[in-house]
Amino acid sequence: MLFEQLSLIEPILSALKEEGYTTPTPIQEQAIPIILEGKDLLGCAQTGTGKTAAFAIPVLQLLCKAKLTGQPQKGGIKALILTPTRELAIQIEESFAAYGRNLGLKQLVIFGGVSQHAQTIALRKGVDILIATPGRLLDLIQQKFIRLSDVEFFVLDEADRMLDMGFIHDVKKVITLLPTKKQTLFFSATMPPEISKLASSILHNPSKVEVTPISSTAETIQQAVYFVEKENKKLLLSHLLKDAAIKSALVFTRTKHGADKVVKDLHRGGVKAEAIHGNKSQNARQRALTNFKSGETRVLVATDIAARGIDVDDLTHVINFELPNVPETYVHRIGRTGRAGASGIAFSFCDAEEKEFLRDIQKLISIPVPVVTDHPYAMSNTSLNSIPSVKQKPVQRHHQGGERRSFRGGDSRRYAGNQSAKRG
Ligand code: AMP
């Protein structure tokens, strides 16, 4: 199935093309037609399955259609997306901005822990789609910066996590402030009784969509971390790339500038590499990707945004030159290797400043990432001793034992997280 077969409007299709998406994920394939029909939805899916696009694309289309058909438009917020964490909120806002880039709708993300000033200024300018965490939303409602009386679409994201994090009362309060007539999309990875009760109280005759894991292929991904000083990272990368077993490597950096720098350093060492990031034209990106897929370029250096939607068969290695500050991004990154039962290897370089990020990643995936100490650029023992400890998450939070999954493109689904630690 292709996105073209989902009755989507041209401006959305072309935005998806620019994102590099061709095939809808299973949850998208199932949920998009239901939402476009105007029905309520109960979606059982975790982060990594493509669930954000599964609700963002049809909501954008319905909002846009209403605008085009000349229906009288109310001035307020028309779609509210409630999500438990700031990181998820930011990612959802980025998704709406990306898929809706040709539509002229306004989206805004608000969350707590930061000053509300910039958020209230943005709210005053008018917002069509609001992505919010519950606490800050209620704060701003109370201060009369936000009213929800015009909301036509309500998305509750990660309902079970709202419960885990103690936000369920806030969520219920928000629900009481919404108009009765609206379309509701309810997402949760698991359905504990309280969540199930909440779902049946707010959904009207919902269609149910569930994506269940097919296999836990991430067990085939070997993870390893190298503690290394920032300035030695390029040397370590060249050192590792001497190993011919690294047939193809997708190297991740946090910034575009960083990606270009890695490519330059690799060229100096005679390694064929290309960078792919937002400053490159669509053509240049496509060319780099084609060269990489054909094996002509051995190393592709990418930023997370540019790497979205990249799906390369037989990718043997993912190398995190810099660790991401959002732990979910690590799962997305490494999920690009080890496809369809093939073995994959994910190396991460961690300097002193990134230990915090590593700790967050280990917390998320519930396992410590094995450390490689035997390499020429290892940091001193003292630094190694300060590796943050791993707190194990309680098992059975999700029905697959607390695992996280990471979608990798096409209709394959990947899981990373509950694999046993393998020494690399
Ligand atoms: P989510 O489950 O919404 O967090 O999405 C997981 C990742 O998959 C995100 O990085 C998305 O950009 C990416 N993604 C979602 N849908 C598709 C698709 N149809 N094709 C390729 N990548 C996708």
Our answer on whether the CB atom of 324 is closer than 6 Å to any ligand 1 atom is no
The pLDDT value given to residue 404: 35
Residues, the chain: 424
DSSP annotation of 13: H
Predicted TM-score of the model (pTM): 0.58
Q: What phi and psi, each to the nearest 5 degrees, are found at residue 219?
A: -60, -20
Give the integer Cα–Cα distance in Å for 365 and 344.
17
Give the integer Cα–Cα distance in Å for 116 and 145.
10
> What does the pLDDT profile of the chain (424 residues) look like in tens digits?
899 999 999 999 999 999 988 889 889 999 999 999 999 999 998 777 889 999 999 999 999 987 777 666 667 999 999 999 988 899 999 999 999 999 999 999 999 989 999 999 999 999 999 999 999 999 999 999 999 999 999 999 999 889 988 999 999 999 999 999 999 999 998 888 999 999 999 999 999 998 854 323 356 688 999 999 999 999 999 999 999 889 999 999 998 899 999 999 999 989 999 998 877 777 888 888 889 988 899 999 998 877 765 667 778 899 999 999 888 788 878 877 766 556 789 999 999 999 999 998 888 787 788 999 889 999 875 444 455 444 333 322 222 333 333 333 333 222 222 223 332 2
Is 369 in contact with 358 (CB distance < 8 Å)? yes
Query: How many CA atoms lie less than 13 Å away from 182 in the CB half-sphere?
Result: 26
Give the integer Cα–Cα distance in Å for 410 and 335.
13
pLDDT in tens, 231-284: 999 999 999 999 988 999 999 999 889 999 999 999 998 999 999 887 777 788
The pLDDT value given to residue 410: 31
The pLDDT value given to residue 403: 33
The pLDDT value given to residue 308: 64
Q: What phi and psi, each to the nearest 5 degrees, are found at residue 348?
A: -130, 135
The pLDDT value given to residue 389: 43
Best of 99, 250, 304, 407 for a ligand 1 pocket test (most atoms within 8 Å of beta carbon): 407
Q: Give the neighbor-by-neighbor strand order of the sheet with 153-156.
A: 107-110, 129-132, 79-82, 153-156, 183-188, 41-44, 207-210
pLDDT in tens, 371-384: 998 899 998 754 44
Give the integer Cα–Cα distance in Å for 100 and 180.
27
- When computed from its CA atoms, the radius of gyration of the chain, rounded to whole angstroms, is 22
Structure tokens at 114: 């930061």
Our answer on whether the CB atom of 410 is closer than 6 Å to any ligand 1 atom is no
Cα 376 to averaged position of ligand 1 atoms, centre (Å):
37
Ordered structural domains, the chain, with CATH: 3-210 (3.40.50.300), 221-395 (3.40.50.300)
- Measured by CA distance, the residue closest to atom 20 of ligand 1 is 21
Give the integer Cα–Cα distance in Å for 73 and 303.
39
Our answer on whether the CB atom of 21 is closer than 6 Å to any ligand 1 atom is yes
- Measured by CA distance, the residue closest to atom 15 of ligand 1 is 50
Angle between helices 327-334 and 86-99 (to 10 degrees): 60
